[in-house]
Structure 1
């Protein structure tokens, strides 16, 4: 089974305006609601690609119930923990020419809540997949991701971690199967002059088994544990949405790898899923993903 962890899930409320007037009443020209949180995004794209998963994390309040019900309506399984403090956050994204975001604080998990999550992970079985995504909220211990990997270190669990900064570097000692920094995140760690390949090699030496570096308009590279450097190109299309593209790439890669155990296929499916979401108002649908996949694969055969 695939398990995704989202420490701080959210409902994303997207508001469209002709223009944003400060200090005045603004009336929207359109609005959408999305079930948010990076691990939740991963689970939703996995579902589009025919892969079942179970969403783990912390929710509570009326927003938490709405988020959980929404996932169940989408036939995505959950095994949430319900802390006593805070409520599941609402993130407001105002699109008025440029995008303005207001992110809520969200649920506050205390040590007893975290222990319940660690106990759930200790029940994972050999062959399971664990995907941990997102930043660690300020109210949660900053070594939480390391403690999550500690909980499964005795099992043959495929661990994927998509985070950045100190949290990313801290988990490398557990030799995660995959990490996925972008170029900005690489430069934050290693400096402005680092290349994608150099950064991936450094992260491998620090403990990661496989490293994808997403490079925006320049595509993506994968430094695999077999020593090969794989590359993926860029799909043609208009980017209208940056939210969830990286999560879609993670989901596509995992789905592709589990399907064929082929690194190039997995990287291409990850890149296609990321692009399809970038070209969509929300997360991509299955048909959009495979349209992008067909484009990437046809180019690679030329």
Structure 2
């Protein structure tokens, strides 16, 4: 089973405009409501790829119930911890030129909520993978991921980190199975500017030296790099119409895990990662399985470095 953990899920309300004028009434041409959160998006893609997955986290109020129902209707198993606080609602504003996200604060959590959630980790098995994705509500404290990672390690299961910044670096010593920073996040982590593959490679390798088992560095339309202990691989960017970049990175992680959990084949997992991430970016919402398969055939991967040579 692949468990995804979304500690701060959201009901995402998308609103499309030709243009937005601040201080005035703006009338939308199109709206859409969806279950938001990195782990939730990953479980949606895992379910699409017919990989066993269960979404974990906290849900409360009418917005939380909407998310639970939404996932159920889309065939995604979930085992969220119920809370009294309202699950946040985020507003996503989109015009022809840009996207703006108005994100709400996280929920209020009681100690009993937290303990009920932690208890779910007692059921982990050694072949399970847990994906920790996104932000942490303030009520849980900055070290909450570290606490959960210890639970995973005790059960001899694997975990993946889909978080950014210093929280990611701090957790590398626990040897996550996979991390997936994009180029901008890698630049922020190491306080540098990275333009070419040759500039990125030393920092990708450094992530492995710090503890990650595998790392994918995504570069949007410029492709992606996969780092392993033995080699570095590059997947060319695939040309197409960008329709919705939200969730593309999450879908990349899900695509990798769907294949790796089943076959342990690293290159097939990387190919599936690129296919899922690209298909998501080229779709208004979730792609079809057929579209993912179509993109999969277009993925080109080459090895660009072996053992540092």
Structure 2 length normalisation: TM-score? 0.91
Deviates more, 1:134-143 or 1:66-75: 134-143
Match of 1:270 among 273, 277, 281: 273
* 2:83 is equivalent to residue 56 of structure 1: no
- Which residue in the other structure is 1:248 paired with? 251
Measured against aligned partners, the alpha-carbon deviations of 1:57-107 in whole angstroms (never above 9, x if no partner) come to 00100110111011111221111112233x111111111232221112242
- Which residue in the other structure is 1:163 paired with? 163
Structure 1 length normalisation: TM-score? 0.93
- Which residue in the other structure is 1:204 paired with? 208
Q: Is the 8 A contact 1:212 1:222 kept in 2?
A: yes
In 1, Cα distance between equivalents of 2:173 and 2:143: 13
Measured against aligned partners, the alpha-carbon deviations of 1:269-293 in whole angstroms (never above 9, x if no partner) come to 1011111111111232212211111
Q: Is the 8 A contact 2:221 2:238 kept in 1?
A: no
* 2:227 is equivalent to residue 223 of structure 1: yes
In 1, Cα distance between equivalents of 2:145 and 2:269: 25
Q: Is the 8 A contact 2:107 2:137 kept in 1?
A: no
Measured against aligned partners, the alpha-carbon deviations of 1:177-203 in whole angstroms (never above 9, x if no partner) come to 111111111111212145322112111
Deviates more, 1:103-112 or 1:271-280: 103-112
The CA deviation at 1:118 is: 2.0
Match of 1:291 among 285, 290, 294: 294
Alpha-carbon RMSD:
1.6
In 2, Cα distance between equivalents of 1:200 and 1:166: 15
In 2, Cα distance between equivalents of 1:284 and 1:137: 30
In 1, Cα distance between equivalents of 2:267 and 2:135: 28
Measured against aligned partners, the alpha-carbon deviations of 1:5-61 in whole angstroms (never above 9, x if no partner) come to 000111111111122122222221111121111000000001111112111000100
- Which residue in the other structure is 2:126 paired with? 126
Where does structure 1 lack aligned partners over 5 or more consecutive residues? none
Q: Is the 8 A contact 1:200 1:211 kept in 2?
A: yes
Equivalenced residues, count: 297
- Which residue in the other structure is 1:239 paired with? 242
The secondary structure found in structure 2 opposite 1:296 is: coil
The secondary structure found in structure 2 opposite 1:132 is: strand
